[in-house]
Amino acid sequence: MDPMSTAAAISIDPNRAVGWRRWLPNAITLSRLVLSLVFFIQLALWTTPQTWTGGPSDTMPTWRLWLAAACFGLAALTDALDGYLARRWGAITRFGRIMDPFADKILVIGAFVMLAGPQFALVRPDGASLQLSGIEPWMVVVMLGRELLVTSIRAVLEAEGQDFSANFTGKLKMVLQSLVIPLVIVVPALTDCAPGSAGRHLIDWAVWITVAATLASGLPYLIRGSTAFRH
């Protein structure tokens, strides 16, 4: 979810949740960091041949891609679970408000950084290079810039006592990113991703839509922020 989501607007009551209900949401948040670490390791260790023809048999071992996608999927599920339990049990803590958005950004932004890395830059038989994931470094810069800008505006306004919780577009952006990241990981393990193939078109369209949606989701925050600053 976006940092400082709806749960951030709820006052912290450390006496409401007791026992294991108090620490379980935070433990789930920490598990997301552990899953993120395993996810990054699998992508870092995934190896590709010197040349590539486009088929999944050329990108062995594909089991690392499947394991990475599974870790990311589980981590994304913990993102929804820890916030739900914290709100339901009244277990919203300062630790959770800090670590939850931190774990979110490490997982998502880290995934885009890894997928834009050199291990996904493959060489075709004709000598041309191809970013197998469809994610270019400049796309990571754009998405990271959006997150930093929104986070900075939120920090200033909430320090002044104003509510700047996540809106629908921010949550939709997170859902889209959580679907596209495992998609671009598993598609090369399943089908041909050479230029012009169905797999290539699927990855490229998914990535470009995600980049566009990420930028568009920042506009409502900019409007809200500019309005709040004027007043």
| Dist CA 161 CA 56 (whole Å) | 53
- Tell if the pTM clears 0.85, that is, is over it: no
CA nearest to 181, candidates 31, 9, 6, 43: 43
| Dist CA 207 CA 138 (whole Å) | 12
Chain centre to alpha carbon of residue 32 = 12
pLDDT tens string 163-215? 777 778 888 888 999 999 999 999 988 887 888 889 999 999 999 999 999 99
| Dist CA 150 CA 166 (whole Å) | 10
Q: How large is the average pLDDT for residues 10-28?
A: 67
pLDDT tens string 36-75? 999 999 999 887 654 555 555 454 568 889 999 999 999 9
Domains of the chain: 6-230 (1.20.120)
Contact 187, 55 (CB under 8 A): no
Q: Which letter, b or e, does each residue of 97-118 get, where b requires 16 or more Cβ atoms within 10 Å of its Cβ?
A: bebbbebbbbbbbbbbbbbbbe
Question: Mean pLDDT, the chain, as a whole number?
Answer: 82
| Dist CA 165 CA 162 (whole Å) | 9
Lookup: tokens for 86: 């914290």
**Residue 124: pLDDT band with limits 50, 70, 90:** low
Task: Report pLDDT for 18.
Answer: 64
Task: Report pLDDT for 114.
Answer: 94
The CA-atom distances, in angstroms, between 73 and each of 43, 171, 185 are 14, 16, 11
Q: Would the pLDDT of 9 be above 80?
A: no
Q: Would the pLDDT of 2 be above 60?
A: no
DSSP assignment of 72-136, as one string? HHHHHHHHHHHHHHHHHHT---HHHHHHHHHHHHHHHHHHHHHHTSGGGEEE-TTS-EEETTS--
- Determine the angle formed by the axes of helices 94-115 and 20-45, rounding to 10 degrees: 10
Q: Would the pLDDT of 100 be above 60?
A: yes
Q: Would the pLDDT of 15 be above 50?
A: no
Task: Report pLDDT for 125.
Answer: 66
